[in-house]
Structure 1
């Protein structure tokens, strides 16, 4: 699954809900986020997956769940330790999940141009 750049957390959350609803036995899911996600959205939706073993999130940065999207500076990047917290919590909330990998967004994108 691939999101266009600039997809909001709401779109990401709704997509996870639809995948869980219409593909309830999905075991492996790869998402190219192409932007930011929040840890709280991921942790809120992950328990709904009963069979998910592998989740790969490519081209993404993690937003601090306590910061509102509108107030986030454009160059805010969370540290690896934040991902480690999200990964460990996701594995606790979804006992079948054995692998959650991510790759950082290679560069900030504004609209259709790259800098």
Structure 2
């Protein structure tokens, strides 16, 4: 698998990861649905993971792949906690719109 990654220029991975990360940032800033925002955060994490793997393969060092493993473990915990929070918000407000969260203050 390392041979396949090294045949593609590193710049292509950087460009693709940058586009994915920008899509995630735009999604977080523009969208109002908590689930969509959550998915955009995951998209940003996956863009960073792709860069770690590309740089790791480019340099021939496995440390980037170890970082990806830990990031994926943290992301799995984030998904469990985040979805539990979103479910509780939906139970209280019957909506996952982040504009509706002002009602939870009082």
What TM-score, normalized by structure 2, do the two folds share?
0.31
Which structure is larger by alpha-carbon Rg, 1 or 2?
2
User: Between Structure 1 and Structure 2, which shows a larger proportion of strand residues?
Assistant: 1
